[in-house]
Amino acid sequence: MNLLKDPFISTNFGKASLKDILTSNEDYQLQYFFDETQLAMLQMLSSLSTVVLKPTISELNVYLANGLSPKQYDALLEKVDSQWYEGDRFMRSVFPSTAKIADGPITKLVSGIECGSSANALGLFSESSEISVCCPDCTHVLNYNLHMNIKGECFGPTGATGIRGGGSISTLISGKNLKSTLLLNTICVDYFKEQAQLDDDAENRVMWAFPPKSEIYSAPKIGLERGLFALAYHIDFPVNEISCKCDICGNNSEQSVTTFQRVKYSGAYGSTKKGRDNGAGWWLHPYTPRSVKEDGIYAVCARDQHWQSWQELTSYVVGKDADKTTVKPAFIINQFQNKLKVDSSLSLLVGGNIADQGSIAGRIYDLYSMPSSLTKNNTRISLVIDAGLTQKEKLSAAFNFLFSKNHVGYDSNFIKGIKNQAIQKFTSNAQQIIQQILLDVNRKEATQLRKEAIEALNKEAKSIFKSVQRKYQHDLPIFKALVKGEFVLYKSID
Ligand SMILES: [Zn+2]
């Protein structure tokens, strides 16, 4: 099986190849049980598409407008050294002869169901028994997910941190169908060259063909294709000649895989402290928003389990300047904003895990409708998000009356708990409200969207506040403080 040629992708039409998806007009949809795998597939396939197409900006615009014929695909594939994308080679470098090999169940490669052995690597939302066996085709996306999305700390001392850092957020453009999604996330070589500031002698050959040798993996030396599939582990998936029904894609397979073996690479990327301290630099990973701080560049991660992606949406789309940190949108968002021409309406996909040390505390997979012209209309998004953040602040201010000594003699943790719970509820409910309002981002003017956002979110804030008031109506000191705070939510916003 070759990842650039053969059908290994699980879809509503059965297994399809990258060529099938990129060159036909069928409405393919990915079929994987876990949104985490789905997200990793979108990243991996867009990166594979980059390897085959290697488009310039103008070429990608032509593919987006007119599609790509099977003949064109084949002609482009001729120029690729496709042996490195054979199933038994892709992203698998040979173990060093003296290395001690760690192994584990494939369960660990779906990080929402992490089951590490260290004290703070905990299992999460699904039963780990849900994933115990997969088909050989699915080992590739699990491997990719390990390298790009899973936090090395989840594996304790045998864990490694990959090129984009552990547990970072991914942002992708979501098109009207799978083909356009993959094309929209395919990287234009000329624009990447301009933005990534690589050295002229940057190595572009993949790491499983030419593993990195130095202790520090210097970002300017890592070419586009090498970086898109940069390794952090030597890895292998022993295949059993036993048939199975795959727990990842649901297909039946003659062969099965239940474990994987790994040895971590010894060098450090600029995504790690060691790499940063030694000047490795940040490699411009195209799907990763990043914060630029005084001491270096970091992938944006979500750390608090009550975190919701809407709060950071503006920074993922337009960026954000704060005190000592600047958040920059992912390269792929900039590419779309600045270089691509698309008429149809699009969405932004924000995905990833919420990691807390070795644990995964939550998972994000949110779709936002985007204005078709992001350059012109992205203020519409920031106005909606700002409306949400303002209401959140107001709700917080309304609850602050609880902390006044004149009103309440309660334990301060108890009082804080009342407030925090309410704010978390608001943040969580606002997620859907904002996604809903942004569905109209192309049809409505900025002022109208802002007005609707303020109304809907203010209503939500009031309703949460009222429910807390009701709960404590017989607790007079608390109730009285809440009555005093209520007016904050009724003050109008200009
Ligand atoms: Zn499978």
Per-residue model confidence as pLDDT tens digits over 154-167: 777 888 999 998 78
Of all residues in the chain, what percent carry a pLDDT higher than 70? 91
Q: What is the mean pLDDT of residues 117-145?
A: 74
Same structural domain for residues 303 and 331? yes
Global pTM reads: 0.88
Rg (CA), the chain: 24
Structure tokens at 261: 């073996």
In a domain? residue 65: no
Residue 123 confidence (pLDDT)? 44
In a domain? residue 136: yes
C-alpha–C-alpha distance, residues 198 and 224, integer Å: 9
Any idea what DSSP says for residue 167?
A: T
Give me ligand 1 centre to Cα 332, in Å: 28
Residue 122 confidence (pLDDT)? 47
Give me ligand 1 centre to Cα 46, in Å: 19
User: Domain containing 114: what range?
Assistant: 93-175+200-370
C-alpha–C-alpha distance, residues 119 and 358, integer Å: 8
Same structural domain for residues 254 and 347? yes
Same structural domain for residues 366 and 378? no
Give me ligand 1 centre to Cα 8, in Å: 8
Give me ligand 1 centre to Cα 3, in Å: 14
In a domain? residue 400: yes
Give me ligand 1 centre to Cα 134, in Å: 5
Beta-bridge partners for 370: 346
Same structural domain for residues 134 and 154? yes
Domain stop point among 349, 370, 391: 370
Same structural domain for residues 361 and 448? no
In a domain? residue 246: yes
Give me ligand 1 centre to Cα 256, in Å: 9
In a domain? residue 204: yes
Give me ligand 1 centre to Cα 15, in Å: 9
Q: How confident is the model at residue 404 (pLDDT cuts 50, 70, 90)?
A: confident
Same structural domain for residues 297 and 163? yes
Same structural domain for residues 284 and 239? yes
Give me ligand 1 centre to Cα 246, in Å: 5
Give me ligand 1 centre to Cα 260, in Å: 15
Same structural domain for residues 357 and 434? no
Same structural domain for residues 317 and 239? yes
pLDDT at 345 over 50: yes
Same structural domain for residues 366 and 379? no
C-alpha–C-alpha distance, residues 106 and 133, integer Å: 7
In a domain? residue 83: no
Give me ligand 1 centre to Cα 245, in Å: 8
Give me ligand 1 centre to Cα 108, in Å: 16
Give me ligand 1 centre to Cα 142, in Å: 10
Domain stop point among 347, 370, 393: 370
Q: 């490694």: which residue's tokens? A: 160
Dihedral sign for Cα 422, 427, 432, 436, please: positive
Same structural domain for residues 307 and 405? no
Q: How confident is the model at residue 119 (pLDDT cuts 50, 70, 90)?
A: very low
C-beta of residue 486 within 8 angstroms of C-beta of residue 401: no
Closest CA to 370 of 321, 416, 311, 435: 435
Same structural domain for residues 270 and 159? yes
C-alpha–C-alpha distance, residues 394 and 132, integer Å: 47
Instruction: Write out pLDDT tens, residues 57-99.
Output: 999 999 999 999 999 999 999 999 999 999 999 999 999 989 8
In a domain? residue 292: yes
Structure tokens at 1: 């099986």
Dihedral sign for Cα 239, 245, 251, 254, please: positive
Give me ligand 1 centre to Cα 95, in Å: 25
Domain stop point among 370, 400, 415: 370
Give me ligand 1 centre to Cα 215, in Å: 36
Give me ligand 1 centre to Cα 140, in Å: 10
Give me ligand 1 centre to Cα 33, in Å: 10
**Count of CB atoms within 10 A of residue 195's CB?**
16
The count of structural domains within the chain is: 2
CA torsion 4-181-228-32 (nearest 10°) is -70
In a domain? residue 12: no
Give me ligand 1 centre to Cα 31, in Å: 10
